[in-house]
Structure 1
């Protein structure tokens, strides 16, 4: 058990604790006959950016402290997320959570989490229990720090941790419930960039890694940055709030990041219904039916029960019915409960063989792995649980699949050796910007023709082309240059198309279009805060039909230079005239600054923005949503960013633009936003000396050691 903690505050001054108090405490503990050896302790050190540095006397202590730390930084959010993962949020907080509860319960998340909990190894089950115990202890000791409305979720358990993980990974990333509204797969709101640079292309001769996920700046997508040190592990990185291990991390020997890969781990099946069930291989099978009671809190505080009927076929749960047809959903990985332990062991690995040994478990349902290490190895793995399918290409499985035959029902996944992978390519660099694995480097190191047609699609969008261009054009990249490239806001689309658009305007355009062309000719082709012309260009690009706008479509034989050319120059000029009129009416100028229109706002801070949508070919992705008339606010994109050089000692810098906390009154809700606006990273402090030099608070957890 963990005893009452000791706080030590250090606000830049030396702080003394009464020696007598500490001595008395030690005498009392050591004099207790239940102790067979001296008290051990786990430390939680907070730096000036609210990053927790955990020094666990054992793994249990590290998990306990990590649970405590997450509650300290994100307690209200964490409990709300766990309540949703239980499928009981509507009973806690009302009608607006009914859809969430129906989704969670129909997908069987709570019940599967209970089974997953029992399937954990005894050690890891204990770690989950300690993480939950740290959450509960924080809430008990700091009741005023947690909103009363979310305390109903307490106490949390190890099963809650797994339910949250399951909801996030399988039923938000692998399949997003929002995608199912039209029964057609759509582009995910999650994205990412990742780079691995070998010593041959590094100015220092050391391998380097760039981690750059793009996620919404709210809800279950928020990153939490931390350092976890315990026997056998010393890892630094980030994870999503509520997850008890680091999902992107590095240690003294190696590191990895994830990107959202072009992975298809779910399918929707069309069932032919009859009076007694549905058709399957010429037979009628009954739908498995279960009726649950869904509690919903009313405005007067009372609870009203709603019935929830859940139907399932051999493919999976039924998510809609209409007439004599139904749609069933099948998702990979529901029988793979070891994601957390795999991530934990990836962070404990000391070399590439050990790292691959963890990867080979294939517990993680999706995400590319981009890897680099001190020995100079780099790797790209198209990681995931990829179903073995009997037919069809990627596009076929993106549609609605016939559910009346076992020929379309996949039952097993490809093993590790079947997945696209490259280690140490001749190019010396690897990139992924959510493009398929075939374009990870040039000359191409992974051939699409060597894999099933359904493994991944074939394309390379403008952001990925920009990514590859920056790497390929610099023969020796320094850490500082990698960070500068990471923040590049240059629009690859503008480089590709302005040489066609401006001459077309000169030929066909009216007076306003000519003025617009003047602005575009002098524009720096970037989306920096002071870029003048970017707003106009983006407004024009938004009106383009990208599927038919180019005279030369994307070609697999020219993946980095196509599409190109305007298919219909006069139409393109007309669109520019429309865009120019709109921009002038809204902002009074065709050359309005990008940062005047696009803002970074967190808490009370409101700063000029930079970056933009990836479809424009911008590597520094920041997605904006309307805020007021003519003004937009950043809502997603660059979130946790880390740049690591495997030197001796390691050089590393990072940022979480929206801060490392969401609790009310926390100073860390927006304390990194100015750095974000300035396109800067902050140094990562990993050694005791560095942490102590930037220490704001120390917490010590004492642990009773017994035989």
Structure 2
């Protein structure tokens, strides 16, 4: 197909529904249509690595192009998630088969949960809450997705869903279900196994399969018992103002951490409504807006906020009936909500099964596991969960407003007004060099004083409140929904040097101007910071002070990119010298189980290790990973304990001169060496041989390392039968943006590549570049797009 001649380009964009473009140039590859019959029209241009640039004349057309392009790149992933959020997995698939969606559930339990979450009334409410222009875009998206499915046919879809009966047309209700999933991803969705498992004492076992497995710190004990998701969203974000850059203009680094598989696998996208919107970046599948990106005037990214968006309530039960609870001495019945799903039977017929959820005025009752003693559903106590984001229907409207903003001031105003970003901090910078941080999300309005009166501790990282009216979230005038803090009560800071966040609280966003005085649900202070926060701040401060060994002061784009992918293991830098002293003084030690282990060879390899998670790093990384996992949460081992007056520099060093601490350290080292040596890993193996991602028969080496070790380029991988580790979660869309006289210059990776279809030419191309740290310049202007060697274009309509 030949490009549209330049003389006709404007006509093709402006002509009603694109029909004149067809008559003049034949640039479309769909059947001809009369202007009266066309409802949706869009132009999809692609550049190298399959990046789509979608242009339309109206919101409906833009949605149409987005839906079509996203179906091209990931229809199987999208179709599977539409099946999930509609509660229809058991109708088409084995009901007892496990599905991983915010936790390990079987299809039956998943269907019960999502049927309840997305019941008809709340979908109607969500749809009515969308601004008219967004309704048009959603309707266009559904039409574009369906158009792709119609044109392609189920028999020609990627292997993962080819000829699958569950791949179907979608409508706006499917999209509302998916948006509610995204909004609640780190809230009720993470609690899904516990919510489905909730049954009154003596009622029997709930239909949920949730085998235990290791959980991350945020959901520690409880997640391990229920099988809740081990991977939560996270990110690094840096905005550099004019005082921090070499050219005196703004610069931004965005580094979200998401799963490498499934529905949260981001997609790149460039959207243009001429004269109204011109924004490029990445988004989640099914989202008809840019979530992280840049315009000509500013760039932004997000980091998962540490703020609370849900609380648990402790209910005092009526001793005569565990399905009634007492409020100020008055017994009230729990509301029973029965949901019914279709289940495919062994003979292929469809039967129906029902499940009862229990609700209170404080939220849905859940069954916390036995590993959280005293927090189960007993004859006297039960616990209910309230999530602010189940009442937040403004998420897409928030990003839509951000995409349309013409300045950093407008961006800020939209975030303060809509308050719809469900669980993300926003970090932004404009071309003039003003850096902005906003921790503006729907946070339960519970003041520090109220928490002191009502608090019942915490469980699974969530605050527990007493179930009384005095402990309910307070309403505040001027908020877009009940029970949340107004934007004026949430952290915002604007600077000319820098702001940063790596999933700790807002406290040290800019260490020179700490943010304090907020409700603990909003932001906490005076607590040990994560390794990514500490290494991020230290790298920035060293560059700006000119003490990092590089010439001059102030950041350049290559230097910012180098920080993102340095792969330094922060906690190794804090303790390795002491660990080597201990190692050299201890030829042999015993594990906790009394197994004797010789340490000499491991000590030599630790000494030779470069203290990074780079492709060429040796087995020392593995020894240190196992060692630190055993001691990282033990405050007694630190030579210099945490000091709130030096939160970036402490804790550090190992306490070798204390017999008890030294004994613990020796056992941890022996355990680590014993585990690694017994795993069958070659002593001379490199990290790049071990940590990989598979694309067909290829194993692409992936650098980066564990969040627990303080690796800025965070990667979590899972051991495979062949001994390698498959990357499951970590750096996803990595974006570095600078501004100059010609406008924005953006370089990026979509670390797992644009297409989820393993047979696509764009299933591994960016992954190969990421592996080699070869950043990709993004074509943004019209001239850059047309000059791109991978340029193609297509006009679609219906």
Q: Which residue matches 2:345?
A: 298
The one of 630, 648, 653 equivalent to 1:560 is: 648
TM-score w.r.t. structure 1 length?
A: 0.90
Q: Which residue matches 1:124?
A: 134
1:646 aligned counterpart, secondary structure? strand
Q: Which residue matches 1:349?
A: 405
Does the CA contact (< 8 Å) of 1:239 and 1:248 recur in 2?
yes
Does the CA contact (< 8 Å) of 2:250 and 2:434 recur in 1?
yes
Q: Does 1:543 align with 2:604?
A: no
Structure 1 distance, partners of 2:465, 2:140, is 46
Q: Does 1:168 align with 2:263?
A: no
Does the CA contact (< 8 Å) of 1:266 and 1:330 recur in 2?
yes
Q: Which protein, 1 or 2, shows the higher relative CO under an 8 Å CA cutoff with sep ≥ 6? A: 1
Q: Does 1:106 align with 2:116?
A: yes
Task: Rate the CA distance shift 1:256–1:395 in 2: closer, same or farther, 3 A.
Answer: farther
Gaps spanning 5+ residues in structure 2: where?
5-19, 98-106, 195-209, 211-220, 368-375, 475-482, 545-553, 589-596, 656-660
The one of 418, 424, 432 equivalent to 1:375 is: 432
Q: Which residue matches 1:15?
A: none
Task: Rate the CA distance shift 1:649–1:462 in 2: closer, same or farther, 3 A.
Answer: same
Q: RMSD of the alignment, in Å? A: 2.9
Does the CA contact (< 8 Å) of 1:401 and 1:408 recur in 2?
no
For residues 86-122 of structure 1, what are the alpha-carbon distances to aligned partners after superposition, in whole Å with 9 as ceiling and x for unaligned?
2222223331321211221333455422211122222
2:301 aligned counterpart, secondary structure? strand
2:363 aligned counterpart, secondary structure? coil
Structure 2 distance, partners of 1:140, 1:435, is 46
The one of 627, 637, 652 equivalent to 2:746 is: 652
Q: Which residue matches 1:13?
A: none
Residue 456 of structure 1 deviates from its aligned partner by: 2.4
1:46-195 alignment to 2 at 5 Å?
46-95=46-95, 96=97, 97-108=107-118, 111-143=121-153, 144-146=155-157, 147=161, 150=164, 152=166, 154-172=168-186, 176-177=190-191, 180=194, 189-195=232-238
Structure 1 distance, partners of 2:132, 2:33, is 32
Does the CA contact (< 8 Å) of 2:425 and 2:437 recur in 1?
yes
Q: Which residue matches 2:755?
A: 661
Does the CA contact (< 8 Å) of 1:104 and 1:110 recur in 2?
no
Structure 2 distance, partners of 1:319, 1:586, is 39
Structure 2 distance, partners of 1:395, 1:554, is 26
Does the CA contact (< 8 Å) of 1:535 and 1:592 recur in 2?
no
Structure 2 distance, partners of 1:702, 1:155, is 17
Q: Does 1:612 align with 2:710?
A: no
Residue 551 of structure 1 deviates from its aligned partner by: 3.8
Gaps spanning 5+ residues in structure 1: where?
1-6, 11-18
1:73 aligned counterpart, secondary structure? helix
Q: Does 1:467 align with 2:467?
A: no
The one of 682, 687, 693 equivalent to 2:781 is: 687
Residue 502 of structure 1 deviates from its aligned partner by: 1.7
Does the CA contact (< 8 Å) of 2:92 and 2:165 recur in 1?
no
Does the CA contact (< 8 Å) of 1:502 and 1:517 recur in 2?
yes
Does the CA contact (< 8 Å) of 1:271 and 1:402 recur in 2?
no
Residue 376 of structure 1 deviates from its aligned partner by: 1.3
2:389 aligned counterpart, secondary structure? coil
Residue 33 of structure 1 deviates from its aligned partner by: 9.2
Q: Which residue matches 1:212?
A: 255
2:630 aligned counterpart, secondary structure? coil
Structure 2 distance, partners of 1:30, 1:590, is 65
Residue 525 of structure 1 deviates from its aligned partner by: 1.0
Task: Rate the CA distance shift 1:289–1:636 in 2: closer, same or farther, 3 A.
Answer: same
Moved more, 129-138 or 274-283: 274-283
For residues 250-309 of structure 1, what are the alpha-carbon distances to aligned partners after superposition, in whole Å with 9 as ceiling and x for unaligned?
110011111011021112223233326211121111111222221112343211211121
Moved more, 462-471 or 495-504: 495-504
Q: Which residue matches 2:609?
A: 523
Count matched residues.
681
Q: Which residue matches 1:271?
A: 315
Q: Which residue matches 1:422?
A: 493
Structure 2 distance, partners of 1:442, 1:62, is 42
Structure 1 distance, partners of 2:39, 2:729, is 45
Q: Does 1:584 align with 2:684?
A: no
Task: Rate the CA distance shift 1:514–1:103 in 2: closer, same or farther, 3 A.
Answer: same
Does the CA contact (< 8 Å) of 1:536 and 1:579 recur in 2?
yes
Does the CA contact (< 8 Å) of 1:280 and 1:403 recur in 2?
no
Q: Which residue matches 2:218?
A: none
1:44 aligned counterpart, secondary structure? strand
1:237 aligned counterpart, secondary structure? strand
Structure 2 distance, partners of 1:86, 1:161, is 10
Residue 545 of structure 1 deviates from its aligned partner by: 4.8
Structure 1 distance, partners of 2:332, 2:183, is 31
Structure 2 distance, partners of 1:188, 1:61, is 36
Residue 388 of structure 1 deviates from its aligned partner by: 1.3
Residue 396 of structure 1 deviates from its aligned partner by: 3.5
Task: Rate the CA distance shift 1:399–1:382 in 2: closer, same or farther, 3 A.
Answer: closer
Does the CA contact (< 8 Å) of 1:85 and 1:110 recur in 2?
no
Q: Does 1:401 align with 2:464?
A: yes
Structure 2 distance, partners of 1:39, 1:166, is 27
Structure 1 distance, partners of 2:493, 2:419, is 17
1:199 aligned counterpart, secondary structure? coil
Structure 2 distance, partners of 1:457, 1:175, is 24
Q: Does 1:643 align with 2:712?
A: no
For residues 132-153 of structure 1, what are the alpha-carbon distances to aligned partners after superposition, in whole Å with 9 as ceiling and x for unaligned?
1111111111113333555545
1:313-328 alignment to 2 at 5 Å?
313-320=360-367, 322-324=377-379, 325-328=381-384
Structure 1 distance, partners of 2:142, 2:532, is 40
1:226-241 alignment to 2 at 5 Å?
226-231=269-274, 232-241=276-285
2:646 aligned counterpart, secondary structure? coil
Task: Rate the CA distance shift 1:588–1:125 in 2: closer, same or farther, 3 A.
Answer: closer
Q: Does 1:452 align with 2:463?
A: no
Q: Does 1:698 align with 2:709?
A: no
1:244-283 alignment to 2 at 5 Å?
244-274=288-318, 275=321, 277-283=324-330
Residue 32 of structure 1 deviates from its aligned partner by: 6.5
Task: Rate the CA distance shift 1:31–1:46 in 2: closer, same or farther, 3 A.
Answer: closer
Task: Rate the CA distance shift 1:634–1:235 in 2: closer, same or farther, 3 A.
Answer: same
Residue 413 of structure 1 deviates from its aligned partner by: 1.0
Structure 2 distance, partners of 1:32, 1:681, is 44
Structure 2 distance, partners of 1:353, 1:402, is 37
Residue 699 of structure 1 deviates from its aligned partner by: 1.4
The one of 221, 233, 240 equivalent to 1:197 is: 240
TM-score w.r.t. structure 2 length?
A: 0.80
